[in-house]
Amino acid sequence: MKKNFLFSLLLGLVLFFAACKKDAKFDYYYYSAEDYALLSQYLNLPEIPHDFSLKSPSAFGNIQTTPPDPDLATLGRVLFYDKNLSKDGTISCGSCHKQEYAFGDNAAVSKGVFDRSGDRNSIALMSVTSFASQYGTDLNGPTGKRFFWDNRAETAPAQSRGSMTNPKEMDMSMAEIVAAVEAQPYYAPLFKKAFDDTNVSEDRVTQAIAEFVNSIGSLNSRFDLAAKANQDKGLFDVVNLPFSDFSVQENKGKSLYMLHCGSCHGFDQVNLPTATGPNGFPIVLDHTSNGLDADPVDKGVGAFTGRSEDQGTFKVPSLRNIAKSAPYMHDGRFNTLEEVVEHYNSGIQPHVNLNPLLRDLDGSPKRLNLSNDDKQALVAFLKTLTDDKVLADVRFSNPFKQ
């Protein structure tokens, strides 16, 4: 009796493993043959979705709270590059957020549908270590950065909705977006994988795009690698000591950066630890005036909040891959990093909300009086923030054939 029981247990186990093995073999065809053939008519997608998680953690701690869902991020990638989601069929998110320019645009202001010009410079999405770890209250509670130069969007889905419905960008209603997605044959297999059924809705579209955008991150610049090599010494040393793998000029630029720029743009190029928030997270210095104009036409955050202390202030951007995302500032007024450095050196304009860090003790705009060597060193340091690997990463590239 007992022997019989053991025997059937054994047989059961053998059958169980055989079933698993069959499943495993079945899994090899991730999409059904018909679905993959359909997808392949339009898209260059791998047979098994890419892993969108950021592989090597940066020297600066937590980068992705949860790894992105590969099916959802794959769907988001296709939506991100799909021109069918615009009024005239010519514009996708990727038209103004180009991978080779760190997901920014090389035009001062981008063109939207029907050649309409926008008002501001596209923001380089690859200017951060990890989108997910820095943006959006959905992930970060009240400490998450908000979206756009004027911080008007709170979450990635809200941001996407803003871009898709903006008359100067894609100019669609969300109902039109849903209809446009339903009209493309390649979405059914992708929705099936991401959501288990093929129903298209506004929430699903924005959720998928958010998953893709949130998977963007950059942490293999020379600065990261050097910081990682010095990691055990702690942030203080990373900020203050020269990196052995930097040139003398780059190290000089690093010291100048930490002295004149780091308080706003971050010492670690990850976050802006200027104060500690209620739950122990650093509060982000998210917007201020860097003195571009005495009387700016674009009121930035102030136009959104209506508060006098916000007038003429803009988001403080992260500077990763900055050498790739010219032109610079919210209106794309500077074409080179040299011009940017000259602005901070000699061009700061008085403005009621000019940040105190850019003022002398008497309140007037600060003049750094940098030598030519200093200016070149600063630019050399900014170039160490380029991550060539991510700029060519196939996971973030345009999947459309044609």
Q: Is 160 in the site for ligand HEC (CB under 6 A)?
A: yes
Question: How many Å is the maximal CA-CA distance in the chain?
Answer: 96
Q: Is 316 in the site for ligand HEC (CB under 6 A)?
A: yes
**Residue 111 in contact with residue 117, Cβ under 8 Å?**
yes
Which CA distances in Å does 184 have to 81, 169, 181, 199, 392? Answer: 13, 21, 6, 13, 27
Q: Is 149 in the site for ligand HEC (CB under 6 A)?
A: yes
Count residues contacting ligand HEC (CB under 6 A)? 50
**Residue 90 in contact with residue 78, Cβ under 8 Å?**
no
Which of 238, 354 has the CB closer to ligand HEC? 354
Q: Is 261 in the site for ligand HEC (CB under 6 A)?
A: yes
Q: Is 330 in the site for ligand HEC (CB under 6 A)?
A: yes
Structure tokens at 289: 């005036």
Q: Is 218 in the site for ligand HEC (CB under 6 A)?
A: no
Candidates 178, 190, 292, 391: give the one binding ligand HEC (CB under 6 A). 292
Structure tokens at 177: 């977006």
Candidates 43, 78, 108, 123: give the one binding ligand HEC (CB under 6 A). 123
Which of 31, 257 has the CB closer to ligand HEC? 257
Which of 155, 220 has the CB closer to ligand HEC? 155
Please measure the distance between the N-terminal and C-terminal CA atoms of the chain and give it in whole angstroms. 68
Give the whole-angstrom CA distance, residue 259 versus residue 266.
Answer: 11
Nearest residue to 153 (alpha-carbon basis) of 168, 141, 163: 163
Candidates 49, 68, 70, 112: give the one binding ligand HEC (CB under 6 A). 112
Scanning 43-51, 194-202, 246-254, 284-292 for contacts with ligand HEC by CB under 6 A, the matching segment is 284-292
Which CA distances in Å does 207 have to 96, 110, 158, 202, 384? Answer: 20, 24, 10, 8, 33
Q: Is 99 in the site for ligand HEC (CB under 6 A)?
A: no
Give the whole-angstrom CA distance, residue 265 versus residue 310.
Answer: 18
For ligand HEC, the binding residues (CB under 6 A) are: 80, 91, 93, 95-97, 110, 112, 118, 120, 122-125, 147-150, 159-160, 163-164, 169-170, 209, 213, 260-261, 263-265, 288, 290, 292, 314, 316-317, 319, 322, 325, 328-330, 340-341, 344, 355, 357-358, 378
